[in-house]
Amino acid sequence: MLRRELSFFQATAINMIDMVGIGPFVTTAAVAAIMGSAHLAILAWVVGMLIAFIDASVWSELGAKFPHAGGTYRFLREAYGESTWGRYFSFLFVWQTTFTAPLVIASGALGFASYSRFFLSGVPQTTTPWSSRMIAIAVVVMLTMMLYRKISDVGRISVVLWWCVVIIMTAIIVAGFSLGNPVHLIGQVIAPEGGWLPQLSDGAVWTALGVATLPTIYSYLGYYNVCHLGAEIASPERVIPRSMYLSILGIGILYILMQVAVFSVLSAEQVKVSPFVVSDMLSVTFGRLTANIGTMFILVIALASLFSVMLGYTRIPYAAAQDGLFFRQFGRLHPTENFPHIALLMLAGIAIVFVSTLTITDAIKSIITMRVFTQFIAQTVGLMLVRRRLGSGSMPWKMWLYPLPALLTIAIWVWIYSSAKPLQQAMGVVAPLIGTFAFLVFARRTKTWPYRTVEEPYDI
């Protein structure tokens, strides 16, 4: 059985290092290119933070009510009925997680490999696509080895990595503020040329904002990681909501300050085309040697994030296997260290396959749209069903102004989905359809709902 050994500090640290990965370092240029100016790019990062806050209200209610391993998997089972539709929705989520989780891991590992090329920038023909992929594969293998241990040790490692993230991000921000021109930039953000009102009344700005929100929300993802570890959190009714909100607030401030620091040193045109935007900023302010050292620290942040990501996602197939809704091998715990080692090895293996075949752009674009309906919207509707069935008094933690945040969450995810390209939208629909077919095959094989109304033991 999993043990409740993670404290509030450790849970918050795991959340925050999950959120700050390679994302903001590889997506800053893309967001600037989409929005066209520094102040609009910063707006996209603020919007991403607000979306995370609103969606976290749903996660907080469900996480406090159902603090078990698996997060969304458990929420969907409880909300839609453990023996009926809850089986379908939770299976669908686990099915997609076996692909989206490795996609998240692969995108981070590929981003790590891509950013590491800064050390050799300006040196011709020093890297090849396969050399970058081999670096990414090595990252996945190393993280798997780091996670191959009991949860109390993982919690302590997470705190160390959290300190690394906070110190490094603070140093980057201080560098930009001290040697750039933040006062001028902040003035542009507060009162941009032409004013905010005319710009926000332009439909093109809202269209661009929807597109730019995909990479910014990708960079915020992970604020809910603590829910996946619900069975290992001490005092989960208080710790889960508080750690999520504190994580979003802390990381949101760091992200926005980092954007101000970058745009204080580099022009918007420079940011748009820079593959190593923070390293380029450090190179301009302190020189190449300091930029190399800074890049090394950025890669430490990327490793810390992937560490937390892999930790949280291993608990989803484990929880499903424990409930008989996934292949039972994934429900096994390590005989001495008491962690789901089969699930860890499975996610790492699929991530290596994705690293070997996809680009980081492919991975990032696929992650969000594949989750919109089967995770974010499905669990928000599920929360409303739980509230209606059990009453608000049964919820250990309650969101403010219910049901407004829940309805806003649904509307926001639909807006983000509609802003994606047709191929990305198709993936968000096709994946659940394939998962539905897989569920029906699984249910027939195990002789469970909808083919049997009475649960029977099974063996896979």
> Alpha-carbon distance 77 to 79, whole Å?
6
> Alpha-carbon distance 102 to 92, whole Å?
16
Average pLDDT over residues 426-440: 89
Look at residue 201 in the predicted model and tell me its pLDDT. Answer: 81
Contact 117, 127 (CB under 8 A): yes
Q: Bridge-partner residues for 229, per DSSP? A: 69
CA R_g for the chain = 22
pLDDT in tens, 293-349: 989 988 888 888 888 788 888 888 888 888 888 778 888 888 887 788 898 898 899
Regarding predicted confidence, which is higher, 380 or 126?
380
Q: What is the mean pLDDT of the chain?
A: 87
pLDDT in tens, 337-393: 778 889 889 889 999 998 888 777 767 767 788 889 999 999 999 999 999 999 999
User: Which residues, in sequence order, are CB contacts of 44 under 8 Å at separation 6+?
Assistant: 31, 34, 35, 209, 212, 213, 216
Burial of 345 (0-12, 13-18, 19+ CB in 10 A): middle
HSE toward the beta carbon, residue 117, CA cutoff 13 A: 25
Token pair belonging to 340? 């789901």
pLDDT at 225 over 90: no
pLDDT in tens, 53-91: 999 999 999 999 999 988 899 999 999 998 899 999 999
pLDDT at 129 over 90: no
Domains and CATH numbers, the chain: 8-359 (1.20.1740.10)
Among 150-159, 370-379, 414-423, name the most confident range. 370-379
Q: What is the 3-state secondary structure (H, E, C) of 161-214?
A: HHHHHHHHHHHHHHHHHHHCCHHHHHHHHHCCCCCHHHHHCCHHHHHHHHHHHH
Q: Give which of 43, 36, 33 is closest to 196, Cα–Cα.
A: 43
> Alpha-carbon distance 301 to 323, whole Å?
35
Burial of 194 (0-12, 13-18, 19+ CB in 10 A): exposed
Token pair belonging to 361? 């752009």
pLDDT in tens, 114-124: 888 888 765 44
Look at residue 410 in the predicted model and tell me its pLDDT. Answer: 96
Look at residue 59 in the predicted model and tell me its pLDDT. Answer: 96
Q: How confident is the model at residue 128 (pLDDT cuts 50, 70, 90)?
A: low
> Alpha-carbon distance 246 to 15, whole Å?
9
